[in-house]
Amino acid sequence: MLLETVEHQTGPEPRWSILWLHGLGADGHDFAPIVPELLRAGWPELRFVFPHAPVRPVTINNGARMRAWYDIRNLEIDQRADEQGVRESIAQVEALIAREVERGVPPERILLAGFSQGGAIALAAGVRREAALGGLVALSTYLPMASTTAGEATKAGLGTPVFMAHGQLDPVVPESLGQRSRAALEALGMAIDWHVYAMPHSVCADEIRDLGDWMHQRFLAG
């Protein structure tokens, strides 16, 4: 079954789709308000798709049930993400990508974005795709299953443009985790457009501006 989603279209015939994954405990409504802040004159018609993650118990939150893309078992980066949950979420994201293709938007005009847990899934899914997406957006996040990435990443996946950003004051996902993930991906040959901001585990106006610039370049190229 497809995940439930919140959708916003900027016109009746979208040429690009932006699939945006929320963070732990949030839902698809969380980043919907960012749409008007991002939009610029002259952009093609877009479809923003904000899915709701499944509800599941989260170990580090005393087993409380909440929307999560995977369980978080501890705070060590190599054991942080539940691999089964990550792979299940990758499959669910792939189903949403397939629906966009069925609706007339090819993979090369799909951007996969995510914040925190959502960004982890965006990176994990994007590097493993046989058909490259138009770009990946990874905000305040890290690369899960880093030890298996080299063996599972595809040439197309590693050739996908990436916008990666992090807060220097982030107490939830420290900047050092983002930096380590960036270095791991660059070591595999991935080109990362990296940005840091004086912010905690959040987004800021400068980040939205820089992301808009990056998206503008993707639209021009596509």
Selecting among 8, 195, 201, 216, the annotated active-site residue is 201
User: CA-based angle 169:172:175, to the nearest 5?
Assistant: 50
Selecting among 17, 116, 140, 181, the annotated active-site residue is 116
Selecting among 27, 71, 170, 181, the annotated active-site residue is 170
Establish whether 116 is a catalytic residue. Answer: yes
Is the CB of residue 137 less than 8 Å from the CB of residue 211? yes
Establish whether 202 is a catalytic residue. Answer: no
Q: Which residues contact 214 (CB under 8 A, 6 or more apart)?
A: 135, 137, 161, 163, 193
Distance CA 160, CA 68 (A): 25
Buried-state track 3-21, b at ≥16 Cβ within 10 A, e below 16: beebebeeeeebbbbbbbb
Which sequence positions are flagged as catalytic? 116, 170, 201
